[in-house]
Amino acid sequence: MKLINILLIWLLFLFAATTSFAQTGETPINIFGYFQNQFKQEEDPNRGRESNTFLMQQLNLFLQKNLHKNWSAFVNLEFLNSYSSSRNTGAVNLEEAWVKYRLNKKFNLKLGLMIPTFNHLNRIKNRTPILPYIVRPLIYESSLSEVVPVDEFTPSRAFVEVNGILPTVNKLKFDYAVFAGNSPNISTLYQPGQSGADTTATFLLGGRIGLRFNELKLGFSSTYDKDSRFQSRFQDLTEFDFTEIPRLRLGLDLSYSYGPFWLQSEFIRLQYDESTDIVNLDKDFIYSTLGWRITDAMIVYGGFWQTRVHHNRRLGESPDAEFQEYVETTTSPNFGAAYHLSDRIVFKGQYVNFDRSNDNPRVPSNPGFKIYSLAVSVSF
């Protein structure tokens, strides 16, 4: 009898909670995520050196909950490179924590820390099981953020975004996104004052306009902010002010599929207004991937990435040494395959050749290298 009473009370509480959820639109919290474990071998022919490693490349843990009739919340935690605080490896980041109001498909308002809409890959770059890559197009590869200026090429954080899909016109679908956030001049734990706060009175402003027609998707993205990261790098050029340099990002993305074949391509251009001809900080990146879905489970692809970065350095130790600009180009042909064992498990293989050169014979080029990778991606 005691057990029956406990069961009846438990059922009563369950009924009350379910009724409450139904009345307010609130739902229980949903916990899910993705991770990708990798084995890779790197070859550096110029140095005659090889290395290989196993790596928990990336894990994203998501928490989602409907809070009210039109309101929901989302949290995204990201763990990189076999994260361990006791072993001083990898990193953990709070990538997103936002609340969303959805009026209809034409208007959605997101408030809080978020990855903004920019080009095709920016918002889905952490969905490793739905991407065929192990090493993603270079500026989207979070696991290489310790050696590649990922945040410089793409906006990684915003705090307000309005987006939606506009009515269809003759099979054309238009989507839009407008967002705002902090400038890149964020204080750290090693600086005085509150960490994580913007140290300037400037903002990040940006957005994307997209068009879809059947299997064609085309988008144009742009952001504007002001960057002070180069102030310390060129502190010997005292006659110029490198604080809060205006920066414009321009992005173009194209996706198309025809039967079992698909194409994805993006271009990003960074333009800085340095107010001097001595220093050039502009950068650009392009990638293109052509894929073939051989079966429902098997995908093969080939791609091409290229990064062009303007550098500025003195050719000598003396303050009077000649100051020269040069462009370093990294060209990365790559190919790979992905096998979907199920909707939740994907096995991958990939080869990437990083070839680096520059246009100034007086400056030695950084050595290139090759990466051979195997990985398994899991959604849970």
| 47-99 pLDDT per residue, tens | 668 899 999 999 999 999 999 889 999 999 999 999 999 999 999 999 999 99
- For 125, phi then psi, to 5°, come to -65, -25
Interval 324-353 mean pLDDT: 94
Q: Do residues 275 and 281 touch, judged by C-beta distance below 8 A?
A: no
* Bridge partner residues of 164 (DSSP): 176
Residue 7, pLDDT above cutoff 60: no
Residue 4, pLDDT above cutoff 60: no
Interval 26-45 mean pLDDT: 92
Of 118-132, 143-157, 245-259, 263-277, give the lowest mean pLDDT range.
143-157
* Bridge partner residues of 91 (DSSP): 80
The residues spanned by each domain of the chain are 2-379
Residue 2, pLDDT above cutoff 60: no
Residues 221-246 have pLDDT tens digits of 999 999 988 877 776 665 677 788 99
What does the pLDDT read at residue 276?
Answer: 80
Interval 286-311 mean pLDDT: 96
pTM: 0.87
What does the pLDDT read at residue 359?
Answer: 86
Residue 11, pLDDT above cutoff 60: no
Residue 147, pLDDT above cutoff 50: yes
Interval 152-167 mean pLDDT: 94
Residue 167, pLDDT above cutoff 90: no
Q: What percent of the chain has pLDDT over 90?
A: 66
Interval 12-38 mean pLDDT: 73
Q: What percent of the chain has pLDDT over 70?
A: 89
Cα–Cα–Cα angle for 123, 126, 129, rounded to 5 degrees: 120
Of 53-67, 209-223, 352-366, give the lowest mean pLDDT range.
352-366
What does the pLDDT read at residue 375?
Answer: 98
Mean pLDDT of the chain: 88
Residue 301, pLDDT above cutoff 60: yes
Interval 331-356 mean pLDDT: 96
What does the pLDDT read at residue 12?
Answer: 46
Report the distance separating Cα 223 and Cα 271, nearest Å. 11
What does the pLDDT read at residue 6?
Answer: 53
Q: What is the CATH number of domain 2-379?
A: 2.40.160.10
What does the pLDDT read at residue 316?
Answer: 65
- For 128, phi then psi, to 5°, come to -60, -35
Report the distance separating Cα 333 and Cα 314, nearest Å. 32
Report the distance separating Cα 122 and Cα 156, nearest Å. 8
Residue at token pair 């140095």:
47
DSSP letter for 278, please. Answer: S
Q: Cβ–Cβ contacts within 10 Å for residue 38, how many?
A: 23
The pair of three-digit structure tokens given for residue 27, joined into one six-digit string: 């739902």
The residues, any chain, with a CB within 8 Å of residue 380's CB and separated by 6 or more, are 32, 33, 34, 35, 344
Residue 168, pLDDT above cutoff 70: yes
The pair of three-digit structure tokens given for residue 73, joined into one six-digit string: 């919340």
Residues 179-194 have pLDDT tens digits of 999 999 988 888 888 8
